[in-house]
Structure 1
Amino acid sequence: MTDADLVSRVALTTGLSPSEAARVVDDVLAWYSEPVEAYVRRRHAALQTAGHRNEEIYGRIVAELRDRVVAAPDLTERQVRRIVYG
């Protein structure tokens, strides 16, 4: 359920209609509610596709998780590796 005050604020500050603002808020909240394991797997695949090596990827994912708006637990590179490969 979307917070009505947040939707009103987004509509007011962006010029979007209330229904458009609600869709934006829902999309942003869905983006940040992605489980850590899903985020790690998705980012690993994207970075690998972009040609990055695992040694760089693991550290990068750990750093990205620290900066997420919705805090993820602190993970070591080994924990990231285990999420990716089991």
Structure 2
Amino acid sequence: MPDPDLVAHVVATTPLTPGEAARVIDDVIAFHAQPVEAYVRARHAHLKTYGAKNHEIFARIAEELTHRVVAAPELTERQLRRIIYG
């Protein structure tokens, strides 16, 4: 169960019920707790599904990683490729 004060804040500022707010908070926390490697693999697969090319994907992922709550270390395109392809 997330912090009750946070749940109360979300309930007060949105139309969500306490149960819905708690579920959303848990989902957000789980998303941001995801290891960098898991995020990179999932994001690469998602972008590939929509036809993006690796060069575009790696640049986009590198940029996105800088905006995570706990920023990941800067990764080069080579490091990103190694995460994807081993």
TM-score (norm 2): 0.88
What corresponds to 1:71 in structure 2? Answer: 71
> How far is 1:34 from its partner?
1.3
Gaps of 5+ in 1: none
CA RMSD of superposed structures (Å): 1.3
SS at match of 1:70: coil
Query: Counterpart amino acid of 2:29?
Result: L
**Cα deviation per residue 1:50-86 (whole Å; 9 max; x = unaligned)?**
1111111111110011112332222111111110011
Distance in 1 (CA, whole Å) between partners of 2:30 and 2:11 is 18
What corresponds to 1:38 in structure 2? Answer: 38
Distance in 2 (CA, whole Å) between partners of 1:53 and 1:15 is 39
Gaps of 5+ in 2: none
Q: Which runs of 4+ in 1 moved over 4 A?
A: none
- Report how many residues are paired: 86
Query: Counterpart amino acid of 1:20?
Result: E
**Cα deviation per residue 1:23-57 (whole Å; 9 max; x = unaligned)?**
11111111111111011011111111211111111
Distance in 1 (CA, whole Å) between partners of 2:8 and 2:2 is 11
TM-score (norm 1): 0.88
Distance in 2 (CA, whole Å) between partners of 1:47 and 1:19 is 32
